[in-house]
Amino acid sequence: MSKELIDAFNEYLTINKGLSKNSISAYLNDITQFLDFSKKPLLKRDNSDIIEFLSQFENKRTLNRKLSSINRFYDFAKELDFSNIDLKIQSAKIENHLPIYLEHNYIMDKIGDIDIKSWIDLRDRALLLFLYATGVRVSEAVETKIDDIDGAWLRVRFAKGEKERVVPIAKSALIAIELYLRERNDNSPYLFINYKKDKLSRISMFKITKKYLGVSPHILRHSYATALILGGADLRVVQELLGHSSLLTTQIYTHIQKPHLKDTINKYHPLSKKQLYS
């Protein structure tokens, strides 16, 4: 029944609404993802099911896009009398501010202060360097396996939207990971595990970054992107490394770049030299 509903939704978007192929594809992908999230039939789901589904998305813009697709689907179902339920959840408020990030020296100083007494401490240090060196989402870090590291490269297999990407890993992070793995005594395929030798959870990763750096893992992702932009990296390269499907998502970092560019002009451009006005 769910497949027939999605087919009808496709026809509705195409014929009734006359949307573009790209828009229709985006709506169908979101609804299919929502369908696969639970075994409960689509027309028997409620607001709690939607909220549970949306809670896995950290980026508010992505969350709002998924929510928009879900709202449109249930509007369609009600309009065509497939259902009389009225599911409407307000979109997440997106504040217009710069992403929070940590300075490189602060991160490295805090990581350097970790007192290494056990393999757990080695894991914590390796995890912090891994997050900062790769910019991966916490959901991707959780699913990373040891075999996903090939030399100095990380294959992100469980990326958002199931888009695989490859990112380089800094040498310092690789060394920390090697030291940590050397002290582990288990057969788990996952890169980061807990003391029970089970896969480390998102909550545990949050607790680790909060303990040592006072922030969530997502702030390390911002710090990674910010360091690249301020270092002069091309925005499209950063987009690929972060796994953003749209350049619009990456462009938030251009606001960070502007003061840096102004300082560069003031320092190096001849028209900014004081002697020109003497």
- Which residues are designated catalytic? 137, 160, 218, 221, 244, 253
Three-class DSSP labels, 38-71? CCCCHHHCCHHHHHHHHCCCCCHHHHHHHHHHHH
